């Protein structure tokens, strides 16, 4: 399967660095599909991204000057230089973190697009859209090999310029001559509904791995309170797609039944262990599991339910300007 994203999708999703963009990269990798990149799209995206990033930077500078004139004194704003912006635009597709199938601009695609312009046929029937015709020709080259999914907000590809009408009829007829399937989507949201797959995480394996992480603090809590664990843990996991298509972020709670070793009339003992970390779905391996605290709860006659907690946190001291990192947490439902 080939997936082609039009320029408007690459730009609106900031080179697939948004939450939906990250989800797209993740599922493309899991489906073993290929993200195809026609040269005409690559050139347009790099040029427009440079212009957009420059505009963002200039607006921040102007707003900072306005604030400075009012407050008289402010911390200086550190923004990327013009050279750094240019380098980022040029390296956009190198940082996608999944393999790209590059499609060079060819004379054949140019001729095909020119014919559609002369014949006034979609996607080049209204505005002399040469680029759209080339993209379509490139898609037909790919369709000869595998199924092709095109995601574009450009209404020129749709019948009567309406998303709900599906692919323009003349384009639909062209695609029919191939044995493979062609589908068109107007948004990444619609594409994700098509390509998403179920991700299964072995809960028993998580309990086994995480128990090693919390063994010392849990044993200390149980010894201090006079309880012991009487059952294997049951895990509840929430998983999230991250900026790295090779791993998921996970948050989880693990519940253990506990019994009162001191025979003090304490009943319905429960130990809740909270943690987070990462999961590599390809290797089916848990990574960087961290303890986020334990809570022991139990009932005692004529008293409210008791709660005893071990809580852990992280502290990062910062001197001067704090660096902020881009992270993505796209929930898998």
Q: Report percent pLDDT > 90 for the chain.
A: 74
Whose tokens are 């039009």? That residue is: 6
Per-residue model confidence (pLDDT) at position 313? 52
313 and 212 within one domain: yes
138 and 26 within one domain: yes
Q: Answer whether 250's CB lies under 8 Å from 272's CB.
A: no
Inform me whether the pLDDT recorded for 320 exceeds 50. yes
Boundary residue ending a domain (149, 169, 195): 195
In this predicted structure, which of 110-119, 122-131, 173-182 has the lowest mean pLDDT?
Answer: 122-131
Each residue of 215-241: pLDDT tens digit? Answer: 999 999 999 999 999 988 999 999 999
Each residue of 244-290: pLDDT tens digit? Answer: 999 999 999 999 999 999 999 899 999 999 999 999 999 999 999 99
Per-residue model confidence (pLDDT) at position 105? 87
Strand-pair category, 100-103 with 34-38: parallel
C-alpha pair distances (Å), 212 with each of 11, 147, 219, 230, 290 = 45, 46, 11, 17, 11
76 and 14 within one domain: yes
166 and 25 within one domain: yes
247 and 134 within one domain: no
Beta bridge partners of 266: 300
128 and 63 within one domain: yes
Per-residue model confidence (pLDDT) at position 124? 67
Boundary residue ending a domain (195, 212, 247): 195
Per-residue model confidence (pLDDT) at position 115? 77
Give the structural domain span for 274: 203-331
189 and 265 within one domain: no
Q: Give residue 315's pLDDT band: very low, low, confident or very high (50, 70, 90).
A: very low
- Number of structural domains the chain divides into: 2
Q: Give residue 136's pLDDT band: very low, low, confident or very high (50, 70, 90).
A: very high
For residues 223 and 13, what is the distance between their CA atoms, to the nearest angstrom? 52
C-alpha pair distances (Å), 146 with each of 15, 34, 114, 149, 182 = 24, 10, 25, 10, 9
Mean pLDDT, rounded, for 61-80: 92
Q: Which contiguous run of DSSP H or E holds residue 4?
A: strand 2-5
Boundary residue ending a domain (125, 160, 195): 195
pTM of this structure: 0.81
């Amino acid at each position: 399967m080939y997936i082609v994203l039009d320029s408007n999708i690459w730009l609106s999703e900031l080179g697939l660095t948004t939450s939906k963009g990250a989800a797209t990269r993740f599922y493309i990798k899991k489906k073993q599909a290929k993200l195809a990149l026609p040269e005409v799209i690559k050139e347009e995206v790099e040029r427009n991204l440079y212009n957009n990033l420059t505009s963002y930077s200039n607006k921040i500078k102007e707003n900072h000057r306005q604030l400075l004139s009012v407050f008289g004194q402010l911390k200086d704003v550190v923004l990327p230089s013009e050279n750094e912006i240019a380098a980022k635009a040029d390296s956009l597709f190198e940082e996608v973190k999944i393999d790209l199938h590059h499609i060079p601009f060819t004379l054949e695609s140019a001729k095909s697009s020119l014919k559609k312009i002369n014949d006034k046929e979609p996607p080049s029937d209204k505005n002399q859209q040469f680029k759209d015709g080339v993209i379509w020709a490139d898609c037909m080259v790919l369709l000869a090999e595998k199924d092709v999914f095109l995601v574009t907000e450009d209404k020129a590809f749709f019948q009567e310029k309406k998303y709900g009408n599906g692919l323009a009829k003349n384009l639909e007829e062209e695609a029919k001559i191939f044995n493979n399937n062609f589908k068109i989507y107007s948004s990444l949201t619609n594409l994700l509904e098509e390509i998403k797959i179920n991700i299964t995480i072995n809960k028993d394996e998580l309990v086994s791995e995480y128990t090693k992480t919390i063994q010392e603090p849990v044993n200390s809590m149980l010894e201090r309170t006079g309880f012991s664990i009487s059952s294997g843990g049951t895990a509840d996991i929430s998983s999230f797609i991250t900026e790295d298509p090779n791993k998921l972020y996970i948050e989880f709670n693990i519940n253990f039944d506990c019994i009162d070793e001191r025979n003090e009339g304490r009943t319905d003992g429960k130990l809740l262990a909270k943690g987070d970390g990462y999961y590599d779905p390809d290797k089916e391996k848990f990574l960087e599991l961290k303890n986020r605290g334990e809570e022991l709860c139990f009932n005692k006659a004529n008293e409210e339910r008791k709660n005893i907690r071990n809580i852990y946190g992280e502290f990062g001291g910062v001197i001067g300007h704090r660096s902020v990192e881009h992270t993505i947490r796209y929930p898998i439902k």
